[in-house]
Amino acid sequence: MMAGLQQLPCAPRFLVCLALAVGMMRTGSSAAAAGDAPPGKIAVIGAGIGGSSVAYFLQQHFGSQVQLDVYEKDMVGGRLATVTVNKQQYESGGASIHSLNLHMQDFVKLLGLKHRREVAGKSAVFSGEHFVLEETDWYLLNLFRLWWHYGMSFLRLQMWVEEVMEKFMRIYKYQAHGYAFSRVEELLHSLGGDTFVNMTQRSVAESLLEVGVTQRFIDDVIVAILRASYGQSVLVPAFAGAMSLAGAQGNMWAVEGGNKLVCSDLLKLTKANVIQATVTAISLHSSEGKNFYQVHYEDEEGQGSSFYDIVVIATQLHDNKSNITFQNFDPPIAEFPGTFHTTIASIVHGYLNSSYFGFTDPKLFPFTSVLTTDSPAVFFNSMDNICPVNVSSTFRRKQPQDAAVWRVHSQHPLEKQELKILFRSYYSVQVTEWQAYPSYESSKTLPPIILHDNLYYLNSMEWAASSVEMAVVAAKNVALLAYNLWYHDLDKIDQKDLIHKIKTEL
């Protein structure tokens, strides 16, 4: 099944190339007008949100004539996935999206999808013995409690997160103007200068203490939020921390029918060839002064390979998680330092043991979300009473004394004994072991985006911060980078002082 060199991707596809070039001249692309042939074939490895959105963006930029092959070894959606309980689906991976995540908002509109109806609920922070913080139904009372316990820390946190988010939002303008970045550091620098780059090197705790947030607030609140989001401590870098704290401020949404629909619908829209196969290696070949990448894969029928002009790797390369080797590259493609953090998601259908949380009468248990502090007595990171991915207008949350579906996040698979502590009884437990996020303490190095001339690594961005929207921002950046490099439009790459430049362009 090995493809021969005669199947190289830009083999005389003269008519297609010509048609594309004409098309691009019409749309005013000066680089394409210079006469460069577009790429013939592009491979994307991984069909999570990163892979499916990069396929869409690549097609937007290069045109629909380019052949797009997307390799997926498991399920389309990757870390966006659901499990079924009682014929209803529930998110078991990436669950919530911030209202300011504009790429995801655009996708939902483009694909004709809908926001899932929000069902209100209250949160609390549990220390293993008692609740250290409890949300009430009254906004002002919540604010008063925060002020009473922690002084101005809450306000200082909010101002810090808002400042980071405001600068982060610049990326949408840069990308709308076609600007791309060849390194994660360059992208961060263009958004927030040295401060943003330094935020990948120092901890969120250090940054918050510096702006006047108290240690007590960090121990009770920030720790709990980071345990719930990244399953890690306040030593995670400040940039990743800020992204996760922005999520804790509310304004979160999800896609009706499941977040993974965005991936499958984008792939349908682009009409990409989704190839159910595990990519095992990428090797470099040259012919008539041009580089080609041979993607080797294994599927049900055995081994195969195909040649491409451009390859985007949209999965993790750390820890050899994807088992992809690189051949014939000189210098060789370096190893990727660092490890990934395991998070166990247990979806439990059962009756909460509210006594464990100090509520002997289960009817009186008021919380739908329990976060935890870092205490030896606590064996889980967070637990949420979750709604199905389809929420009808008549849907009501179950009463606390009724059987409900809970998602418990923990570092290790919950033992029977631990499940018995949390639940009086249960009907079912479904466990997913996720290689969820970079283990941020394992490496402070931000991996490269460009691994070779036209070989890109989308998931390098995760080492700055890992989330659904960060994957889409990375995807848009890789598509723009690949396009600008292909057509030698170097003025659109790594430009300094972009805020000023864009203002004067308008």
Query: Which residues in this chain contact ligand FAD in the complex, by CB under 6 A?
Result: 45-51, 71-74, 78-80, 93-97, 278-279, 314-315, 322-324, 343, 345, 434, 436, 459, 466-468, 471
Tell me which residue of 269, 222, 266, 274 sits closest to 248, measured CA to CA.
222
Question: Is the CB of 153 or the CB of 382 nearer to ligand FAD?
Answer: 382
**CA separation for the pair 319, 497 (Å, rounded):** 36
SS (H, E, C) 330-361: CCCCCCCCCCEEEEEEEEEEEEECHHHHCCCC
CA distance 356 to 352: 9
Nearer to ligand FAD, 46 or 258 (CB): 46
* Tokens read off for 76: 């389309």
- Encoding tokens for residue 452? 């070779």
Residue 220 is given by DSSP the state I
Least CB distance to ligand FAD at residue 46 (A) = 3
Q: Which is nearer to ligand FAD, 78 or 241 (CB)?
A: 78
> How is the beta sheet containing 450-452 ordered, strand by strand?
273-276, 67-72, 41-45, 310-313, 455-457, 450-452
Local structure of 313: helix, strand or coil: strand
* 495 contacts: CB under 8 Å, gap ≥ 6: 179, 190, 501
User: CB of 298: closest distance to ligand FAD in angstroms?
Assistant: 9
Q: Smallest distance from the beta carbon of 464 to ligand FAD, in angstroms?
A: 12
Least distance from ligand FAD to the Cβ atom of residue 34, Å: 33
CA 155/CA 172 separation, integer angstroms? 27
Shortest gap between Cβ of 266 and ligand FAD (angstroms)?
11
Choose between 79 and 103: whose C-beta lies nearer to ligand FAD: 79
- Phi, psi values for residue 84, rounded to 5°: -105, 130
Q: Which is nearer to ligand FAD, 66 or 314 (CB)?
A: 314
Question: Whose Cβ is closer to ligand FAD: residue 97's or residue 124's?
Answer: 97
How near is the Cβ of 272 to ligand FAD at its closest, in Å? Answer: 14
Of 190 and 244, CB closest to ligand FAD: 244
Q: Which two tokens stand for residue 81?
A: 């996935």
Could you say which DSSP state residue 447 is in?
Answer: P
Residue 473 CB, nearest approach to ligand FAD (Å): 11
